[in-house]
Amino acid sequence: MPPIVRPDEQVSILARFLDTFPHRFWGTMVEKAMELLLVIGAIVYSVVRFGLSWKVWQEHLWEIIAPLVWAISVVIIYHSIRSALDTVARIQAETSAAATDQEGHIERPTGGKFHIPKPAIPPPRYFRLKIWSGASVLIAMACFCSSVVWIIARIAAPITVTTRTQARAAISIYLGCDWDHIPIHIPASSTIHVIRLNPGILSGNPRIRSLGVFENVSSRADASLDFPSKSEGRWM
DSSP the chain: -PPPPPHHHHS-HHHHHHHHHHHGGG--HHHHHHHHHHHHHHHHHHHHHHTT-HHHHHHTHHHHHHHHHHHHHHHHHHHHHHHHHHHHHHHHHHH-PPPEEEEEEEEPTTSSEEEEEEPPPPPPTTHHHHHHHHHHHHHHHHHHHHHHHHHHHHHHSPP---PPPPP--------------SSEEE-TT-EEEEE---HHHHT--TTSTT--SEEEEE--TTS-EEES-SSSSTT-
pLDDT at 120: 67
pLDDT at 135: 93
Domain ranges of the chain: 7-99+122-156, 184-227
Task: Note if the pTM is more than 0.75.
Answer: no
Residue spans of the chain under pLDDT 70: 1-11, 97-102, 119-120, 158-181, 195-214, 230-236
pLDDT at 8: 43
pLDDT at 4: 44
pLDDT at 1: 35
36-80 pLDDT per residue, tens: 899 899 889 888 888 888 888 888 888 888 999 999 999 999 999
pLDDT at 158: 67
Quote the crossing angle between the two packed helices 127-156 and 13-23, to the nearest 10°. Answer: 50
25-37 pLDDT per residue, tens: 887 888 888 888 9
Please tell me the distance from the alpha carbon of residue 47 to that of residue 42, in angstroms, as a whole number: 9
pLDDT at 85: 92
DSSP 221-232: TTS-EEES-SSS
pLDDT at 192: 78
pLDDT at 84: 92
